[in-house]
Structure 1
């Protein structure tokens, strides 16, 4: 299927890290997780875009959300493409083609992915209009739930849909929040350079690292509870990379080196 092939190619271009666990998933689940990842990466690229002002980001995100909310037996791919085509010179391919990614998933679970993407897109629009103003831990919890904890809940639904795997949904939120907190730490200077600070007022790197570790502890519990199978295979890689990245940042490194990333992935997958 050409769309499946295109999706994996774009996935590899946008995230070599997530390409590996997604490409190893069995047929059906692979398409569902790839669809979810690409849809959410598409809106994430809009939220983080350095050359779009906040009102335009909100407008684009709300357009995507409303289109997905209007879906019944499919997404109006052409209409959505026309809406986004005005910004082809600014937006990456993964964002322009979001309507196609939404149609990649098996039809029995696709509406759950559309709903999750629509909700997240709407929340991102809210945060863009408020310039990601985070003053307290409650604000941080709201933001990390909006863009990451909700992904943990979606993944839990995908595991249950595929083979009945049941998970602790509080731990699923921690899984998403923990990974997002590590991203916030890793990108802190870059975010501040573009006028955004996800740290609550008065928080230091140490405080954010503690927040990340608390949530990664729930992510550990989430992963430990998974039976042998595709869900466990998938979750182990981003979780291990998050822990390793957090350790590297705590030691003063800017990020986890590519060599360490590849070594860790090889260790977890047994790839040669």
Structure 2
């Protein structure tokens, strides 16, 4: 195989790179290892690669031993690798030597094989490469900024939270939109603002993760919720504690659940722009959407939860969701009805 600063890989090399990508997805994300294979050939490979690139950026930010400046440095180096300005092997060796040993084994393996991941990136067409690199650039710079600011004081306001959700998830929605349209241009035929819907889709998923991981993040000294909305309910961030049932916090939580559900409504609108016969593309979106809705419902049912494990959806729920998706994925009215039924227990945002 060639380094990322050499020529594109030969066919036999590319097949080996794809085999590594598939194996790595299994190690670092059970969710995406489940959903990415739904996608049609050609799109599946680019989306899987995009996920691994984002995971490398996440790994840099998640390392508990690196300070903000060093994380920003490695994000910059990784972007230079993608731009063919620095050899991937140099990044893999340098950052790999700095990684905390307690980081997951799958992520250590991913960093060690980052040259293979990037070599596959450089085998895609110009549109796909540009979408992937843009996503990593915005995500890496944005995460570095927010990690420097991370504390239990929370984010400044709702606009700040929206921006945070954009750099860690909304930009992924934009990347997926570019890749989806390159594969299936008919998505434009519905006239919907796909890029805006995709950003909202990403925010719905990210807000779900923020709420689910609220107390795990809190224990490590981080709060990703908007301080102004807490204060509007008569609370200061410092007053929060796991399992709290204070009516003021419960009111705030209801507001966040309603906002997340509203973004997930946009996720359904985005999904319905995919032509009905592209069932794999629809399933990819529907499964992520459905798991987020089920998680929000679990939080709504148990608002005094103390950890993400208490609101984790069951494997039986996932299996049922997959079955329903496969039964309904061609039928827009039935998908709309299923969404309305599934979100009925959730609070509604005021008009």
TM-score (structure 1 length as normaliser): 0.89
Matching residue of 1:254: 311
**Offset at residue 51 of structure 1 (A):** 4.1
Matching residue of 2:49: 35
Matching residue of 1:222: 270
Matching residue of 2:69: 55
- Quick check: 2:46–2:124 contact (8 Å CA) kept in 1? no
**Offset at residue 27 of structure 1 (A):** 2.1
Query: Bigger CA drift: 224-233 or 238-247?
Result: 224-233
Residue among 184, 187, 205 paired with 1:163 = 184
Alignment of 1:83-232 (within 5 A): 83-90=94-101, 91=103, 92=107, 93-105=109-121, 106-108=123-125, 109-131=128-150, 134-164=155-185, 165-166=187-188, 168-201=194-227, 202-203=229-230, 204-228=252-276, 229=278, 230-232=280-282
Query: 2:204, 2:114 → 1: CA distance?
Result: 26
In structure 1, the gaps of 5 or more residues are none
Task: Note the alpha carbon deviations across 1:91-141, whole angstroms, 9 max, x for none.
Answer: 522344344323324421223212211221111111112226512001101
Root-mean-square deviation over aligned CA pairs: 2.2
Q: Does 1:46 align with 2:33?
A: no
Query: 2:110, 2:275 → 1: CA distance?
Result: 32
- Quick check: 1:131–1:196 contact (8 Å CA) kept in 2? yes
In structure 2, the gaps of 5 or more residues are 1-14, 231-251, 303-309, 328-351
**Offset at residue 62 of structure 1 (A):** 2.7
TM-score (structure 2 length as normaliser): 0.70
Q: Does 1:18 align with 2:37?
A: no
Query: 2:41, 2:254 → 1: CA distance?
Result: 42
Matching residue of 1:80: 91
Query: Bigger CA drift: 94-103 or 239-248?
Result: 94-103
Q: How many pairs align?
A: 267
Q: Does 1:71 align with 2:84?
A: yes
Query: Bigger CA drift: 252-261 or 36-45?
Result: 252-261
